[in-house]
Every structure is written in structure tokens, then in C-alpha cells.
Structure 1
Amino acid sequence: MNSIFSYFIPKDKKFFPLFEKASANLLKMSEKLVELVQSDENSDREKMHKEIERLEQYGDEITHQIYLELSKTFITPFDREDIHALASALDDIADYIHGSSNRMFLYNVSVMTEPVQKLAELVHEGCKEVNKAVSEIKNLKNIRVITDSCVRINSIENQADYVFDKAVGELFDYEEDAKTIIKYKEVLSALETATDMCEDVANVMESILVKNA
């Protein structure tokens, strides 16, 4: 009988801790990303890259667990579509942080330019705000904290757009080697897209607030 009742009771004690684990994991990933682009030692960069890879796999496990709980739960803390959308958006950030790191190594990018470092820092800032907002959705009492984080995430994404556009423009203006242009553009693009994914999380959070606040 207890198992039957547990099917109908919202799994607040399961979904929210999983979301918090996912956002905390993103914060760690972004910290390692900043360490990677600020390091001058190839051995340290490789160590950070492997750690990002490990954390991305851990994030995949968390996402899978959220989907599994969603499939087993009849009544959820908020809309099933929003739970799925939030889990997917958090996972997308992890994918692009890992993708950025991956491109640096696959394309043998040895010089971490100022725009690359700046975008990595913006990704980290975005992940800090995501983590802060996700930590507040379990009770929706501190709506101002969530909305403020969402506003800051949007501002971070706008800054990233500017840094990306300016950096690509300078590549075309001053870099003569086509391969180098392609390498850096791919890395910059992945970093900028990670901030876009942070904005996607903010959009989902705002949708949850509108429906449940």
C-alpha cells in the first residue's frame, strides 16, 4: 500500500536534490574550464580536460536519473514538461562546456587568447547564477533571488555575444591562416553557446515561476 501511495505523492525529495546536484556539477565544470584556459602548462590543461570529461559524464547520469524519476512519478512538484525542459537545459550547458574543452584539445589550440579566457569566465558567471537560481526552486519563497539571477544570466549572455562577435571580427581582420581562424572560431562558438544554454535555463525557470508563483 505504501508503494501505491508513493506513486501519487510528489517526489519533492527526489527532483529538487537532483536539480541541485546537476547545477552544482555545472559550477564545478565551469571552474575547471576557467582553470584550463588560464593555465600555461599542457599537463595541467590535460588534467582539467579529463576532469571536465568526468564531470560531464556524471551530469549525464543525473539527467538520466531525473528522466527515470519522471517516468515513475504520477504527480510532480511542477509541470512534467518543465521538469524535462529544465533537466535538458542543464544538460545542454554541460555538453557545451565539455565541447569547448574538447575542441581545444582536438584542434591543438595552444594559445588561450583573451576572448577565449573572457568567454570561459562568462560561462562560469552564468553557471554561478544558474546554481543560485536552481537552489531556490524547491520552495519558490525567494522569487526575487531567482528573477535577479535570470536577469543577470541574460546580461551575461549579451556580454558573451559581444565578445564572440568582436573576437571573430578580429580573426578575420588580422589572422591570415585559414586553419587558425577555423580553430578559434569553433572554440569561441562552443563557449558562447554555453552561455546561450544558461539563458535557456533562465527561460525555463521564468516559465516555472509564472505557472507556480
Structure 2
Amino acid sequence: MSLNSIFQYFVPKDKKFFPLFEQAGTNLIDMAKLLKECVNSSDPETRTALYKKLEDLEHVGDNITHQIHLELGRNFITPFDREDIHALASSLDDVADFIHTASSRIELYKLEGATLPMIEITDLILEATEHIAKAMYELKDLKNIRNITDSCVRINSVENKADYIFDKAVADLFENEKDAISLIKQKEVLSAMEDATDKCEDVANVLESILVKNA
């Protein structure tokens, strides 16, 4: 191994990890936007096309996560704890997985039309991913804690709103929906959407842990 290679091994790799986290955040916004289009579309062919695009972006997210894990194995020095980098990458990947799951259930169950609660939770998913992306951009400057903390607070608020909408929607389904199959389909789609907001909150929790350690 050359002297230059040894030197590069010990140089902090801020230029490696932070761009990948920013890419992951941007990818989540793109996925959330496609999910919103899918939910607001009543045309089956359009929904199928959107689902396929969303599935492609889910694979993009997987590749970003894989690249982060590779960089962890390659680099001795990291911008913050290795465990936190791994946890953050995994939590971002979970958000992508559940956004994809929500679109997958819409496609597989051939949902005829989205309900108002589905539309509302989808809007909240998009809002949460926007806050995540903002936090990922701010992450490269851990001195600017206020902005990241603000994003975390807003993500938690979004998740609380989604919980309320989900609980009320499920209660209304049991009260008013007479078709058992339709009830199950709607509940499963709503559940995946609400899970996506839960995973957004997990990202916020990891970020808060990073801030505490690096304050």
C-alpha cells in the first residue's frame, strides 16, 4: 500500500457520507411525491406506471444504503459514530420501504379510490420527507443544531397528526363500512401509510441521538 493510500485511509470522509445522506433524503421526497400522485389518481394504468417508478426509486434507496455500508467498511475515520451512521442509513431505508409498501398495497389490492384520510396521510408523508431532507442537508454542519432540531420537532408533529388521522379513519371504517373486503383493503393501505410516518419519526430519533453525542 502506497503512502498516499495510507494517508487517504485516515482522512475524514465527510465528502463520502454526507452526499449519500443528502441523496437518500432527496430520494424520499421523490418517492413521497409519486405516492401522492398515485393516491390522487383514479386511473388504474396511471397508478401502475407510478407504482413502477416508485419501485425503481425504492431500489435507488437500497443502493444508497448499500453504498453507505460499504463506506463504513472502507473508512477508518467517520464524521460521527459508526453505529449512528448505520442506524441513520437503516432508518432512512425503512422510510423508503414503507412508502413503497403503501403504493404496493394500492396496486395489489386494486383500490378503486383513495379516501380523504389516505390523501391527508400521504400529504403528511411528503411533509415529513421534506423535513428529513432538510435535516440531511444540515447534517454536514453539526454546529447548526437548531435547524436539525427544528426538523426533528416538525417530523414528530407530523407523525402525531398521522396517528390521529389513522385512528379516526379506522374507527370510522368499523363504524360505517359494511363491505368486509373493502374495510380490510382500506385499513391495510392506511396502516402502511401510517407506518411510513412512524419510520420518519425513527429518523428524527436517530438524528436527536447524534446531536446529543456531538453537541
Give TM class, smaller chain.
over 0.9
The corresponding residue for 1:149 is 151
Q: Equivalent residue of 1:14, what SS?
A: helix
> Structure 2 counterpart of 1:98, which letter?
H
The corresponding residue for 2:60 is 58
Kindly indicate whether residue 107 of structure 2 is the aligned counterpart of residue 105 of structure 1.
Answer: yes
> Structure 1 counterpart of 2:191, which letter?
S
The corresponding residue for 2:179 is 177
1:88-107: CA deviations, max 9, x gaps? 00000000000000001111
1:15-62: CA deviations, max 9, x gaps? 000000011000100011111111122222112111110100011000
Cα distance between partner residues in 2 of 1:151 and 1:16: 21
Cα distance between partner residues in 2 of 1:37 and 1:115: 11
Cα distance between partner residues in 2 of 1:9 and 1:110: 55
Moved over 6 A (4+): none
Alignment of 1:7-156 (within 5 A): 7-156=9-158
The root-mean-square deviation of aligned C-alpha atoms, in Å, is: 0.8
CA drift at 1:142: 2.2
CA drift at 1:179: 1.2
Aligned residues: 213
Mind listing any 5+ residue stretches in structure 2 that lack a counterpart?
none
Identity of matched residues, %: 62
Q: Equivalent residue of 1:121, what SS?
A: helix
Mind listing any 5+ residue stretches in structure 1 that lack a counterpart?
none
The corresponding residue for 1:199 is 201
Cα distance between partner residues in 1 of 2:5 and 2:30: 36
Q: Equivalent residue of 2:138, what SS?
A: coil
Alignment of 1:152-167 (within 5 A): 152-167=154-169
Cα distance between partner residues in 2 of 1:124 and 1:97: 10
TM-score, structure 2 as length reference: 0.97
1:89-133: CA deviations, max 9, x gaps? 000000000000000111111111101111111100000000011
> Structure 2 counterpart of 1:180, which letter?
S
Cα distance between partner residues in 2 of 1:113 and 1:26: 23
> Structure 1 counterpart of 2:96, which letter?
A
